[in-house]
Amino acid sequence: MSVGQADEKDNVAQPILHHLHLYTMILESVLVPLLFVTVCRCGAQEDFKPYERGSHNTASVHIQSLYTLGLQENLDVWLPTDAGTYKVYYFLDGFDGVIPGVAYAQTMDHIASHGVAVVVPWKITASIDPDVRMSLFVSVMNWAENHLEKKLHNSGINDTVHLDLDNLVVGGHSAGAHVQVEYLKSTCGKFKGQVFMSPVDGLTVFCITPGQTLNYIIPTLHLAAGLDNVPGVGGFPCAPDSLSNDRFYDALDPTSQRWSVNATQFGHGGFLDPLYEESLEVLDFCGYNVNATDDEFDAYRRYIAGQIVTFIKALFTEEGDCGQYLPYLEDTSRMIVDTEERHQNPVGGCPVAACTWSPLPNTTAVPPTTTLDVQHL
C-alpha cells in the first residue's frame, strides 16, 4: 500500500464512521416486527405513469434471519400479490446494508405496485467491511434461490405469485453501491442491470480506482441528488464529490448503456420514509433542502421509485418496444422534480438486459482526473 493510499483511507474513515455511529442511534429507536405481511389494494392505472401508483396490489413481508435456518441477514420484501411471475430488484441500502429496509418502505412499495418484487437484505449488527458484506449478499442470494418463494407463500402470499430469479437487477444507495460493485467485479451472476443511487465508495477500502474502467459491462441507471455533497454535522458531506456519483459513472465501461439523472433540489437521504428522513434532519446528518415541503419530499420518493420502475420496464421490454419508457429517463420535462440529465447509449434503443464480465480491468485511454478532496471529509 502506498503512503497516499494510507492517507486517503485515514481521511475518509474517521468522519464516515462518526456518521455511522449517529445513524445507529436512529436505528435503535425503530422497532422492526418479527414477521409481518402488510397488504395494499389500490386502483389500477391504465397507462404507464411511473410517478403514480401502479396497477398491482402489493404486500410487504419481513423475514427475520434469527428464526430462519440458513438465512444470514434479515430480508424486507415488497411484491405484487396478483398471480404472475415478477422480476426481482435487490436493493442494498445505505452503510452497506445496516439500515432496515423499512426505512425505504414507501419507495419500495411503489416499485412493487408496478410489477417488480423488491428484496432488501440488512442486519444492523453486521460488519461494514465490504468483503464481509459481499459474502453475506452472496449467501442471501443462494438462500433465496432455494427458499424465498416458499417462505413468502408460508407467510401468506398467494402461491400463484412467483419470482423470476434468473433475471435480476441490483441497486445500491450510498455505501450499499460499494458492495454492489464489488460483487459485479467478481461475477455478473444473474444480474442484467444495475442502479446507483447517490453511490459512495468505501470507508477504508475502495471499489473503484480512478482512471480504470470497471471490468463488467451492464446497463446502468445512476440517480444523483444535487445536495449530495452538502456538509452535514461536523462539516462533512455524506457523499463527497471525490467519492461519489461521477466517480462511479466515469468508471463504467465506455460501451455500457447508462442514464444519469440528478435531482438538483434534494439531499443524500431525501427519499427515505418521513420518520427516517426527518431524523436525518434533526441530527443534521446529511445536507438537505431546508425549504422542501412534505409534499415535495413525497414527490421525490415517487420520482426515485418511478425512475427505477422505468429503467426495469425498459430493460425487460420486448426488443425495440420501449418508446413509452425512454422519455422518462431522458426528458427532464417529464420528471416531477427539478432534474438534470445525461446519458450515453452506444448501441441506441432500449437498454439490453445483459451483463458481460472480463477477469481484468481495462484502463481508460484518457483517465478521468478524480482526486480526493480532503477538506470535504
The whole-number mean pLDDT for each consecutive block of 10 residues of the chain, a chain of 377 residues, reads 45 46 44 48 64 98 95 97 98 80 97 98 82 91 98 97 98 94 96 97 86 96 96 87 96 96 96 91 88 96 98 88 93 98 91 91 41 29
- What pTM was estimated for this model as a whole? 0.85
End-to-end CA gap in the chain: 21
pLDDT score of 127: 78
pLDDT score of 318: 77
Position 67, amino acid = Y
Q: Which of 208, 215, 213, 222 is nearest to 178 (CA)?
A: 208
pLDDT score of 317: 92
304 CB-near residues (< 8 Å, 6+ apart): 107, 197, 223, 263, 271
- From residue 140, give the alpha-carbon distance in Å to each of 36, 73, 289: 19, 7, 36
Residue tagged 463504467 (cell numbers): 252
- The Cα–Cα gap between 73 and 95 comes to 15
CATH class of 3-376: alpha beta
pLDDT score of 283: 85
3-class DSSP assignment, residue 97 = helix
